[in-house]
């Protein structure tokens, strides 16, 4: 950072998600303190919290910035709050080269996905393995599954979210448990390793529902588990709902990373939900399941799964130790938080107004 501050740059552009917004604000304040450069901020968090971001930035771009960033940087746009213009054609984006995508590519457009796979194979645009996002209806198209395999798209994240059908309906997921099971079997047949994503803390879910989701992910031979604590990001309906219901327990944005509880769950305490996150990691990543993965996909992936097990258990141990040490860390605060307590500590830098320039 010191090298950048000494570079003589006229403009610094900072993009922020919610969890790294405090660091972005800190950098913006540092730039103002040590240089005469302008700071332009954008990204998801400034888009939904522009007034907050403007306390640290000279200008904030909301939405997509590709069509306005050049005019902004070169001074042709001087408004402090700049509304981005959505890209309707990816070829208009200055970088990277999206020429392979001549038309919009939607996840649900299977024929377009097949065309991309064929191009990747024909033009040798394949790597050892490539990760992609998928849906449970992959199971309905064996031609697509074969093309995905041949294009080395061999690791897919599919959102299980919950085994509670009411919870799935509440979040408008549009799938059922049988869909998930069929998708897992189809991916296994074509040696595509599934990353099972589950959400912990949905209002309709109780502890036993979350435990069932973890066991289900093991039973369908998911290669990885991505447990995500429900996180009410600013600008989302769930954030507005929890604010209205008085259920937010912190606004320290650095904790909004889907690994820390930031609200009062409906069916348990905040610490009990945090514990469920740790339980998911411990239960899914064990050495016995690594042997099964090895038989299905090869020894290399068994070794990877064993490393996941070691790292996840080490992380869980560290978090538990921290939860007993009163040094202001989030784990201690969550363990000792009780309904009716004041909001947990927030970083002073988030809402502290920058000096007027």
- Same domain? 156 vs 251: yes
Average pLDDT, the chain: 87
Inform me whether the pLDDT recorded for 174 exceeds 90.
Answer: no
CATH number at residue 115: 3.30.750.200
Chain segment 304-326, per-residue pLDDT in tens? 999 988 988 898 899 989 999 98
Q: What share of the chain is helix, strand, coil (3-state, %, to 5)?
A: 45, 10, 40
Residue 272 lies in a domain: yes
pLDDT of residue 108: 57
pLDDT band at residue 356 using 50, 70 and 90 as cut-offs: very low
Residue 157 lies in a domain: yes
- Same domain? 77 vs 126: no
pLDDT of residue 351: 44
Chain segment 85-123, per-residue pLDDT in tens? 988 877 776 655 545 544 444 445 788 889 989 999 999
CATH number at residue 61: 3.40.50.280
| Domain count for the chain | 2
- Same domain? 157 vs 66: no
Dig out the tokens for 255 from the structure. 């904790």
- Same domain? 179 vs 308: yes
Entry field: residues in the chain: 357
Q: Is the pTM of this model over 0.75?
A: yes
Mean pLDDT for 74-81 is 94
Chain segment 160-171, per-residue pLDDT in tens? 888 887 887 777
What distances in angstroms separate CA 306 from CA 110, 172, 193, 219, 311, one per listed residue?
34, 35, 16, 17, 9
Chain segment 206-242, per-residue pLDDT in tens? 999 999 999 999 999 999 999 999 999 999 999 999 9
Query: Can you tell me the distance from the alpha carbon of 163 to that of 154, in angstroms, rounded to the nearest whole number?
Result: 25
More confident residue, 175 or 284: 284
Residue 263 lies in a domain: yes
Query: Can you tell me the distance from the alpha carbon of 192 to that of 325, in angstroms, rounded to the nearest whole number?
Result: 43
- Same domain? 127 vs 72: no
pLDDT band at residue 345 using 50, 70 and 90 as cut-offs: low
- Same domain? 136 vs 30: no
Backbone phi and psi for residue 41, each to the nearest 5 degrees, phi listed first: -115, 150
Q: Say what angle helices 299-322 and 270-284 make with each other, to 10 degrees.
A: 150
Residue 294 lies in a domain: yes
Inform me whether the pLDDT recorded for 145 exceeds 70.
Answer: yes
Residue 347 lies in a domain: no
pLDDT of residue 89: 79
- Same domain? 142 vs 17: no
- Same domain? 126 vs 184: yes
- Same domain? 128 vs 264: yes
Residue 355 lies in a domain: no
Number of H-type helices and E-type strands within the chain: 16, 8
pLDDT band at residue 342 using 50, 70 and 90 as cut-offs: low
- Same domain? 31 vs 115: no
Yes or no: say if 24 and 254 are a contact pair by the CB < 8 Å rule.
Answer: no
Residue 346 lies in a domain: no
Chain segment 277-294, per-residue pLDDT in tens? 999 988 999 888 899 999
For residue 311, what are the contacts with CB-CB under 8 A and spacing of at least 6? none
Yes or no: say if 16 and 53 are a contact pair by the CB < 8 Å rule.
Answer: yes
Query: Can you tell me the distance from the alpha carbon of 80 to that of 84, in angstroms, rounded to the nearest whole number?
Result: 12
Q: What is the span of the domain harbouring residue 43?
A: 10-83
More confident residue, 239 or 352: 239
Inform me whether the pLDDT recorded for 340 exceeds 70.
Answer: no
- Same domain? 21 vs 57: yes
- Same domain? 133 vs 61: no
Chain segment 23-65, per-residue pLDDT in tens? 999 999 999 999 999 999 999 999 999 999 999 999 999 999 9
pLDDT of residue 287: 86
Residue 217 DSSP code: H
Beta-bridge partner residues of 199: 228
Residue 69 lies in a domain: yes
């Amino acid at each position: 950072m010191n090298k950048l501050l000494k570079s003589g740059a006229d403009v610094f552009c900072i993009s922020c998600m919610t969890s790294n917004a405090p660091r972005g604000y800190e950098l913006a304040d540092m730039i103002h303190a040590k240089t005469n450069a302008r700071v332009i901020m954008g990204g998801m968090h400034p888009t939904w919290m522009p007034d907050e971001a403007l306390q640290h930035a000279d200008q904030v771009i909301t939405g997509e910035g590709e069509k306005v960033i050049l005019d902004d940087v070169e001074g042709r746009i001087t408004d402090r709050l700049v509304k981005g213009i959505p890209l309707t054609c990816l070829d208009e984006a200055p970088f990277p080269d999206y020429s392979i995508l001549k038309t919009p590519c939607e996840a649900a457009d299977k024929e377009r996905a097949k065309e991309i796979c064929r191009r990747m194979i024909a033009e040798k645009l394949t790597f050892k393995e490539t990760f992609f996002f998928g849906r449970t209806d992959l199971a309905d198209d064996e031609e697509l599954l074969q093309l995905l395999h041949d294009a080395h798209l061999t690791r897919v994240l599919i959102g299980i979210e919950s085994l509670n059908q009411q919870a799935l309906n509440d979040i408008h997921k549009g799938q059922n448990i049988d869909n998930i099971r069929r998708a897992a079997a189809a991916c296994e047949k074509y040696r595509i390793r599934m990353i099972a994503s589950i959400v912990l803390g949905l209002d309709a879910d109780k502890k036993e529902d979350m435990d069932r989701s973890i066991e289900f992910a093991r039973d369908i031979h998911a290669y990885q588990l991505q447990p995500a604590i429900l996180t009410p990001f600013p600008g989302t309906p769930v954030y507005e709902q929890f604010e209205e219901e008085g259920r937010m327990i912190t606004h320290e944005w650095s904790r909004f990373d889907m690994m820390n509880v930031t609200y009062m769950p409906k069916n348990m305490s905040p610490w009990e939900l945090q514990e469920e996150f740790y339980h998911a990691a411990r239960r899914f990543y064990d050495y016995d399941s690594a042997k099964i993965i090895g038989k299905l996909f090869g020894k290399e992936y068994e070794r990877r799964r064993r490393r996941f097990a070691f790292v996840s258990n080490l992380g869980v141990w560290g978090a538990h130790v921290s939860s007993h040490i009163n040094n202001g860390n989030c784990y201690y605060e969550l363990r000792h938080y009780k309904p009716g307590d004041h909001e947990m500590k927030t970083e002073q830098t988030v809402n502290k107004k920058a000096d007027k320039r």
